[in-house]
């Protein structure tokens, strides 16, 4: 039995076609992924600034630092990471169109790692802010920034995880957890901090803040809470928060109390700051905070979420487990020291 091999004429063998006709056009060559990334890069690059920051260090010397920032209004307001401008009040911002201008730090909030800057311009290209609450794991995201000072650098990847927490705060000062941090595998490097993490529709859904390892970048989410912080910094230059003066952590409730309350966990007071509102109210280490103002506490983030400006100076009722017994304590949060 004889086998017959049939060959289809390839491009080279196709009669009557020139080499230019054989190659696909640029549009045909770009797949959907590439088209999204190139469109986002084109539209957002003018809205991301390369920052040069001068800060004073020990001994009266100065040090140069860098980072990125995102334009949010045409008249010069930009958002960046608080740690990028820590210790500085002024710097310079440059853009992909070649313009360079001075900026001042309007306000910084180390406990969200967000800062607002004001540049000397009236005609900047603002980015559109999105909502990280709508993100899904596996979704395409694009990081735009200035790693190692290379302006307008673009990397792409996916949302690797959501709901992460990131410890932030000024060196030697109070610490806090930023919740719902966006984890991405889009490559981030020094200088990307303060730059934009953008979804496929060209909306900024995060401010790149940290490199946690190879292929592991973190971004502070743009959401309702972040928008409030940005608006407050623009208006007042600082964010006020309530403060109890305790260090806490999750802990299981004693079985008898757990059965009575129908739940298994609370927040243990690990440390009480001398002279703090918690100290003045008689809160002790090893107390278990069950409720505050009628709201259940099962983790440190539950208590953190309640420490808003509205609670400064407002008495709240706390339910505490001490020596196995439920007790009621009245706390009056103060203002978190800067």
Whether residue 247 has pLDDT greater than 60 = yes
* Predicted pLDDT at 204: 97
How does pLDDT run across 292-328, given as a tens digit for each residue?
999 999 888 788 889 999 999 999 999 999 998 999 9
Span 31-61, pLDDT tens digits: 888 889 999 999 999 999 999 988 776 666 5
Q: How far apart are CA 211 and CA 230, in angstroms?
A: 23
Active-site annotation holder among 68, 83, 109, 185: 83
Please state the rounded mean pLDDT for residues 91-97.
Answer: 93
The better pLDDT of the pair 170, 218 is held by 218
**pLDDT for position 100:** 94
pLDDT (0 to 100) of residue 106: 97
Please say if the pLDDT value at position 12 is more than 60: no
Mean pLDDT of 77-95: 93
pTM: 0.79
The strand pair at 90-94 and 48-56 is best described as: antiparallel
Q: Catalytic annotation on 83?
A: yes
148 is catalytic: no
pLDDT tens digits, one per residue of 99-135: 999 999 999 999 899 999 999 999 999 999 999 999 9
Assess whether 284 carries a catalytic annotation.
no
With a CB cutoff of 8 Å and minimum separation 6, the contacts of 280 are 332
248 φ/ψ sector (left φ>0, alpha ψ -120 to 50, else beta): beta
Give the active site residue among 185, 193, 199, 287: 193
- Please pick, among 68, 81, 112, 113, the residue that the annotation labels catalytic: 113
- Indicate if the pLDDT at residue 7 is higher than 50: no
Q: Helix, strand, coil shares of the chain as percentages rounded to 5?
A: 20, 40, 40
- The per-residue pLDDT for range 250-267, each reduced to its tens digit, is 899 999 999 999 999 999
Contact 167, 238 (CB under 8 A): no
Is residue 219 within 8 A of residue 130, CB to CB? The reply is no
What are 176-226's pLDDT values in tens digits?
Answer: 778 789 999 988 877 789 999 999 999 999 999 876 666 688 999 999 989
Helices (H), the chain: 19-22, 26-29, 32-44, 224-236, 255-261, 277-280, 300-306
Structure tokens at 300: 């440190």
Residues in contact with 17: Cβ distance below 8 Å, sequence separation at least 6, in sequence order: 11
């Amino acid at each position: 039995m004889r086998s017959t091999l049939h060959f289809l004429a390839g491009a080279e063998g196709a009669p009557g076609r020139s080499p230019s006709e054989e190659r696909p056009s640029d549009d045909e060559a770009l797949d959907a992924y590439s088209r999204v990334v190139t469109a986002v890069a084109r539209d957002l690059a003018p809205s991301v600034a390369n920052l040069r920051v001068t800060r004073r260090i020990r001994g009266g010397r100065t040090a140069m630092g860098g980072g990125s920032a995102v334009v949010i209004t045409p008249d010069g307001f930009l958002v960046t990471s608080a740690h990028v401008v820590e210790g500085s009040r002024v710097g310079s911002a440059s853009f992909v169109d070649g313009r360079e201008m001075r900026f001042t730090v309007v306000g910084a909030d180390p406990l969200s790692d967000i800062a607002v800057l004001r540049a000397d311009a009236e005609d900047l290209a603002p980015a559109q802010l999105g909502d990280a609450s709508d993100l899904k794991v596996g979704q395409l995201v694009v990081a735009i920034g200035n790693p190692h000072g290379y302006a307008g650098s673009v990397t792409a990847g996916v949302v690797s995880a959501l709901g992460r927490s990131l410890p932030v705060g000024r060196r030697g000062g109070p610490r806090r957890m930023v919740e719902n941090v966006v984890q991405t595998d889009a490559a981030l490097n020094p200088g990307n901090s303060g730059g934009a993490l953008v979804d496929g529709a060209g909306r900024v859904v995060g401010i790149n803040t940290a490199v946690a390892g190879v292929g592991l970048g973190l971004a502070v989410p743009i959401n309702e809470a972040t928008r409030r912080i940005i608006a407050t910094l623009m208006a007042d230059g600082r964010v006020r928060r309530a403060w109890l003066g305790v260090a806490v952590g999750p802990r299981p409730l004693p079985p008898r109390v757990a059965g009575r309350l129908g739940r298994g966990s609370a927040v243990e007071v690990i440390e009480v700051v001398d002279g703090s509102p918690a100290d003045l109210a008689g809160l002790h280490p090893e107390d278990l905070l069950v409720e505050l103002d009628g709201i259940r506490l099962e983790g440190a983030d539950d208590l953190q979420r309640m420490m808003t400006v509205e609670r400064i100076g407002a008495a709240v009722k706390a339910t505490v487990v001490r020596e196995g017994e439920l007790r009621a304590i009245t706390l009056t949060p103060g203002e978190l020291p800067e």
